[in-house]
Amino acid sequence: MAQRVTLRRRNPYNTKSNRRRVVKTPGGKLRYLHIKKLPTAPKCGDCHIALPGVKALRPREYATVSKREKSVQRAYGGSRCGQCLRTRIIRAFLVEEAKIVKQVMKA
């Protein structure tokens, strides 16, 4: 007959935050191993792809890691990907150029 396995936490319900797996301990007993939720990587605010160079962690774990693991060394580092930042810079440059051309045409 199979060995009985008792819960190690007080939550008895089969919820997303209470997932568990049966493991065998070095002593030969079966025990529940509670599984943490999988982290998702931060996404770019414009194109919604995962940001390269930024660790995928659970929200609370970002408090314990260093700044260099949460962002990359450029403007909008942990917020936008490189491609979207490039298009933003080009767009801003072209808008400024259009303003200058408008002023020249007016003069």
Q: Which of 5, 101, 85, 4 is nearest to 45 (CA)?
A: 85
Q: Where are the domains of the chain?
A: 1-37, 38-106
User: Binning pLDDT at 50, 70 and 90, where does residue 102 land?
Assistant: very high
Per-residue pLDDT, 107: 86
Q: What is the pLDDT of residues 22-76, one digit of tens each?
A: 999 999 999 999 999 999 999 999 999 999 999 999 999 999 999 999 999 999 9
Residue 104 pairs with which residues in a beta bridge? none
Query: What whole-number distance in Å separates Cα of residue 22 and Cα of residue 30?
Result: 6
pTM: 0.72
